[in-house]
Amino acid sequence: LNQGDGTFRPKFDWTREAEDRGCEDMTPLFFDADGDGDLDLFVTSGGVEAPPAHPIYADRLYLNDGAANFRKAPAAIPGRPFSSGPAGAADFDRDGDLDLFVGGRVVPGQYPTAPGSRLLRNNGRGEFEDATLELAPALAETGMVTGAIWSDADNDGW
C-alpha cells in the first residue's frame, strides 16, 4: 500500500489462499463491488496449464473491509471457470452499482478457440449473475479478447 511518502508496503498475503496458488492472474481490477465506498479487487485467471474448466481458471473477487484487508468472496462470481483475460467495470444496467465485463482468451488445449466473454450483473452487494445471454448473446461467441474499455460512444452521459 502507498504510504504517502513514495514508499509502499505489502498488505495482502496472497499465499494464505492456498487454492489460488496455481492461478495465473491476468487482470487485476479495483472497483467498489459491494457499494460500501472502498475499492475491492477482482482478478481474472487465465493460462493453458490445465484442462478446460479447471478450478485454477476461476476469476476471484476479494472484498475490502475498509482497512485494506481483503477477504475472498468465493460465491460472488458465477459460472464455470474459463481462461479469461481483460475485465472492465461499468454500471451497464443503470442501477447504481458497477457490473463487469470479462473477456475470454483461449480454451486450453484448443488454441485459437476462445471461450466467449461474459457480462456479469452486480446485485449491489458484490454478488454477480451472468447476464450475457440476456443482454448481449453475441459475446458468448466472441473470439479472443485482449483489451476492455468502457466508453460513452454516443456521448449521452451513460
14-68: per-residue pLDDT in tens?
Answer: 555 667 778 889 999 999 999 999 999 999 999 998 998 899 999 999 999 998 8
148 within some domain = no
101 contacts: CB under 8 Å, gap ≥ 6: 87, 88, 89, 90, 92, 117, 118, 119, 120, 148, 150
**Residue 130, in any domain of the structure:** yes
Number of Cα atoms under 13 Å in the Cβ half of residue 100: 37
**Contact between residue 42 and residue 88 where contact means Cβ atoms under 8 Å apart:** no
pTM score, two decimals?
0.89
What's the rounded Cα separation, in Å, for the pair 42 and 50?
A: 21
89/99 Cα distance (integer angstroms): 5
59 within some domain:
yes
Show the domain range for 69: 24-141
Average pLDDT over residues 81-98: 95
Task: Report how many domains make up the chain.
Answer: 1
**157 located within any domain:** no
| Per-residue pLDDT tens over the stretch 104-152 | 999 998 988 889 999 999 999 999 999 999 999 999 999 899 999 999 8
Tell me the C-alpha distance between 26 and 22, whole Å.
13
Nine-digit cell string for 54: 479447471
Judge whether 8 lies within some domain: no
Alpha helices per DSSP H over the chain: 132-135
Establish if 13 belongs to a structural domain. no
Nearest Cα to Cα of residue 28 among 77, 71, 88, 116: 88
Q: Rounded distance, CA 8 to CA 20, Å?
A: 24
- Does residue 19 fall inside a structural domain? no
pLDDT per position as a tens digit, 65-79? 998 888 999 889 998
> Are 103 and 135 within 8 A, CB to CB?
no
